[in-house]
């Protein structure tokens, strides 16, 4: 994904009343563990999502998202309560899985430029550790690379069947979002979502209501802010 560096990458205070999610700086990079009790994650407070894309409650599918960052990477940890899993047979964790959204996934949509929210990266991880990343352009200008884009992100996932919770972690290169080193107060437009279940039981879990039957409404994203 190519970006033109401008002064328009705005600090959080310019985003008005948008919902805000803070990503806390980490002292060093680490391999993903998908373990909220690890020293990397255990003291980090995140956001809790309990509603769908219309703001309606989704019982028994509580989703917590935590975030950390370093000069090189953005980390996201999903803690996903579930009732029943919808998993892809014969999962492949060594190559991108196209149309992964047909099964259970956690998703992050992140727009690097404040002035161009129609262009964003889409990152997905499944309970089995499958992944897909896409370069999305909703402007109609065909600037996105789609599924051919490779962000270089890493994932880790695990399922706790006894507790009916699955965990998914993403380690996203900062250079896949912006072409410069980040600093505190840097803010990205971002959306955090889950797809869970199948057919009539499919759940569309969304941090912010989008007002439609899709997550792809970047005007309704919230703000992810990097903090010390």
In a domain, 148, yes or no: yes
Q: Is residue 45 part of a domain?
A: yes
Which letter, b or e, does each residue of 114-125 get, where b requires 16 or more Cβ atoms within 10 Å of its Cβ? bebbbbbbbbbb
Q: Is residue 165 part of a domain?
A: yes
Q: How far apart are alpha carbons 195 and 103 in whole angstroms? A: 7
Going by pLDDT thresholds of 50, 70 and 90, the confidence category of residue 116 is confident
| pLDDT of 226 strictly over 90 | yes
pLDDT tens, position by position, 19-59:
999 999 999 999 999 999 999 999 999 999 999 999 999 99
Tens-digit pLDDT profile for residues 70-108: 999 999 999 999 999 999 999 999 999 999 999 999 999
CA 221 to chain centre: 11
* Number of domains into which the chain is organized: 1
C-alpha 44/C-alpha 180 separation (Å) is: 25
Beta-carbon count within 10 A of 31 CB:
9
Q: Is residue 35 part of a domain?
A: yes
Mean pLDDT of the chain: 89
Q: Is residue 124 part of a domain?
A: yes
Q: Which residues contact 224 (CB under 8 A, 6 or more apart)?
A: 20, 21, 22, 23, 67, 110, 187, 188, 189, 190
Angle at 203 between CA 114 and CA 38, to 5 degrees: 70
Helix, coil or strand: residue 44: coil
Q: State pTM to two decimals.
A: 0.91
- Residue 102 is classified by DSSP as G
Indicate whether 164 belongs to any domain.
Answer: yes
CB 170 within 8 A of CB 125: yes
- 23: CB partners within 8 A, 6+ apart: 67, 68, 69, 74, 75, 224, 225, 226, 227
Is 94 inside any structural domain? Answer: no
Domain assignment present for 93: no
Gyration radius of the chain over CA positions: 16
Beta-strand relationship, 20-25 and 63-69: parallel
Residue 26's CATH number? 2.60.40.1190
Please give the residue range of the domain that contains residue 72. 12-87+101-227
């Amino acid at each position: 994904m190519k970006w033109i560096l401008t002064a328009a990458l705005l600090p959080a205070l310019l985003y008005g009343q948008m919902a805000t999610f803070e990503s806390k700086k980490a002292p060093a990079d680490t391999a993903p563990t998908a373990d909220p009790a690890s020293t990397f994650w255990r003291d980090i407070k995140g956001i809790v999502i309990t509603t769908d894309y219309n703001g309606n409650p989704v019982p028994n599918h509580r989703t917590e998202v935590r975030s950390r960052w370093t000069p090189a990477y953005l980390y996201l940890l999903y803690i996903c309560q579930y009732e029943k899993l919808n998993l892809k047979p014969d999962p492949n964790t060594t190559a991108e899985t196209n149309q992964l959204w047909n099964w259970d996934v956690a998703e992050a949509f992140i727009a690097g430029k404040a002035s161009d929210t129609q262009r964003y990266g889409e990152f997905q991880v499944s309970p089995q550790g499958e992944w897909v990343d896409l370069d999305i352009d909703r402007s109609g200008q065909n600037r996105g690379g789609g599924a051919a884009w490779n962000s270089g992100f890493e994932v880790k996932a695990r399922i706790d069947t006894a507790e009916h919770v699955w965990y998914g972690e993403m380690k996203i290169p900062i250079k896949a979002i912006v072409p410069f080193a980040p600093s505190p107060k840097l803010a990205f437009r971002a959306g955090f979502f889950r797809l869970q279940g199948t057919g009539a039981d499919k759940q569309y879990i969304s941090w912010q209501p989008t007002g439609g039957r899709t997550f792809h409404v970047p005007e309704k994203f919230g703000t992810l802010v990097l903090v010390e």
